Amino acid sequence: MKKKWKIAILVATAAIAVVGVATYLFTIGPFGKPVLAAVNGEKIPVARFQEELGKIDPAARELVKEDPGKLLDIIVNRTMLLQQAKKEEVAAPKGGSATPPAAGRDAETGTIMAYLDKKMAALPPVSPEEVDRIYEAYKDQMGGRKKEEAAPLIKQMIEQQRQGEEAEKLIVDLRKNAKIDVNQKELQKLAVVPPGMETQSDADFRKALTGGKPMVVDFGSNSCIPCRQLRPVLQTIRKGYTGKLEVLIIDIRNNQKLASEYQIQVIPTVVFFDPAGKEVFRHQGFMREEKVKEQLAKMGVV
C-alpha cells in the first residue's frame, strides 16, 4: 500500500514539474509572448510595440527603431491614460456627442480623448484681459489686424498652450504614482542602429583629443535629417584617411555637457581639430565631401 502511495506522489510531483516548465516556456520563456513592459500590472507585449511601429510613417520608422524607448514611453502613457479613464468610469463618446471620435479611431483612443476632454473642461476660461495682454505684446507681429480680428486666434493659442501644459502635468502625475516595469533586455533587442549611424561618447572624444592626430568631429543627432545626410560623407572621409585622421560622431542628446563646452548652437556642426587638440575651424549645417577635404588640405592632412 505504501508503495502505491509513493508511486502516486512521484507521478503527481512529475506532473507539477511538467506544468511548471510548460508555464515558463509558453509565457515568459522562449515559446511565449515576450513582455516589453508592465504598467500597474498590465503587460505590454513586444507584439504591441511592433503593431504601433507599423502605424508610423515609413520615413520616420528608422528613427524610432534607433531609439525604441521613445515609442515605448508613448505606449506607456497611453496605457496609463486608459487605465485612469476606466478608473474614473469615462467612456468613449457615442454618436451625437459634441466630440465624437474621428473616423477610424478605435474605442481605446475614443476613451482616452473623452478622458482628456473631461480634464480640459475643468480649465479656467481665457479672460479678455489675457487676450489684451498678448495682443499688446505682439501687436507688431499681427500683420495689421485689429484686436477684434486677432482675438479669436489669440484665445485659441492660449487655450492650446494651457491644454498642452495640463496634459503634460497629467502624464507626469500618473507616471509618478504608477508602477512601471521595463524589460530592458527586450528593449535593447528592438534597438536597430544602421551601419554608419553609430556614435561615440565623451570618453571617446577625450581620448582622441589627446591622441596626436587631427580630428573631424560632427556634433549632431541621429534624429536630425541633415545630420543623417552627413553620415555617409563622414564614413567616406574616415575610410579615405585611415591612420591619418580621427572622425567622430557625437550625439549631443547623450553628450549635453560636451556640446555645451564647445558651444554647439546648430546641428550638425562639424568641428576640425589639429593634432594638438586645438579647434581650427567649424562649419554649421551639412558639409559636402569636397569641402571637408578642402579644409583637411588646409590643415596639411592629405
Question: How many angstroms from the chain centroid is the CA of residue 33?
Answer: 24
Residues 213 and 174 in one domain: no
pLDDT, tens digit only, all 302 positions of the chain: 444 444 444 344 443 443 443 333 334 444 457 999 999 999 999 999 999 999 988 877 877 887 899 899 999 999 999 999 999 999 877 754 444 444 444 788 899 999 999 999 999 999 999 999 999 999 888 888 888 999 999 999 999 999 999 999 999 999 999 999 999 999 989 887 666 667 889 999 999 999 999 999 999 987 788 888 898 999 999 999 999 999 999 999 889 999 999 999 999 999 999 999 999 999 999 999 999 999 999 999 98
- What's the pLDDT at 131? 92
CATH number for the domain that contains residue 278: 3.40.30.10
Same domain, 206 and 294: yes
Distance of CA 63 to the CA centre of its chain: 9
Q: Tell me the pairing of strands 42-45 and 35-39.
A: antiparallel
pLDDT at 16: 40
pLDDT computed for residue 145 by the predictor: 87
Asked whether 39 and 79 are in contact (CB, 8 A), the reply is yes
User: Is 225 among the domain residues?
Assistant: yes
Q: Which residues contact 285 (CB under 8 A, 6 or more apart)?
A: 226, 266, 268
* In a domain? residue 250: yes
pLDDT of 288: 94
Domain count, the chain: 2
Domain extent at residue 158: 124-178
Q: Note the pLDDT of residue 20.
A: 42
Please tell me whether residues 147 and 228 are part of one structural domain: no
3-class SS of residue 177: helix
Q: Are residues 147 and 209 in the same domain?
A: no
Q: Judge whether 136 lies within some domain.
A: yes
Task: Check whether residue 209 and residue 134 sit in a common domain.
Answer: no
| pLDDT score recorded for residue 33 | 74
In a domain, 56, yes or no: no
